[in-house]
Amino acid sequence: MTDEVLVTHEDGIATITINRPDQRNAVNRAVSYGVCAAVDELDARDDLRVGILTGAGGTFCAGMDLKAFLRGEVTRVEGRGILGIAMTPPKKPLIAAVEGYALAGGFEAVLACDLLVAARDAKFGLPEAKRGLAAAAGGLLRLPRLLPPRIALELALTGEMVTAGRLDRYGLVNALVEPGEALAEAKRLARKIIANAPMSVAASKRVMVEQQDWTLEEMFARQAEITGHLLASEDAREGATAFAEKRVPEWKGR
């Protein structure tokens, strides 16, 4: 793991911090592969339940390091895109905690996350058109699914920044907080997820991500393939028993 990506594990939460504040946390090869490795560890370890992606020094991520790009450095993970999540997001929930700027690949990383906590003064944008590029790390694909199409098109075509408040009005932000509070609020949100059964969380995320491409005729059958095992699980019995006994469930993940 590179020192340009800091990772901490605490109470089931993996906090992944892009640590290049002097470069506004711009993404070079080391950052992409470092975040990718941390996300893979999140998925691989049973004791880790939720990931948080954030940036050091009051900025989330300014996108691809253009100086590294000009040097010929590949700033994406082969076959997986920027930060290793653009094309292959983790199976477990990933929360973006955004302070300052989330631009270009930084905004696209936010869109690859499942939930977003943003400071009120945070700013987002896809300025690729201003640089002769395109937001091909997921921005052009995910943004129209998450925002009204004309608003998504406006952001892609103008390359202008948009405030967290405006994105909140369109439903993209889960929690809008005071500056400096994004990470703390993301951890509170993570703890709410961790309180629930791990298999239920995993199945719920998978259905909600994959169902976008299901037809009406197949959707319930496809859902049953993913969620059918839950009813017979130990955790289902534990959830019902804990409710009846008015206590906190002790999840086994099976």
* Active site members: 108, 128
Nearest residue to 4 (alpha-carbon basis) of 21, 15, 100: 21
Phi-psi region of 133 (alpha: psi -120 to 50; beta: other; left: phi over 0): beta
Sheet of 123-125: strands edge to edge?
101-103, 123-125, 162-163
CB atoms within 10 A of CB 5: 23
Please work out, in degrees rounded to the nearest 5, the angle formed at the alpha carbon of residue 97 by the alpha carbons of 136 and 163: 70
CA dist list (Å): 60 to 39, 107, 118, 136: 17, 9, 10, 19
Nearest residue to 36 (alpha-carbon basis) of 4, 73, 80, 93: 80
In the chain, helix, strand, coil percent, each to 5?
Answer: 45, 15, 35
- Between CA 82 and CA 106 the distance in angstroms is 9
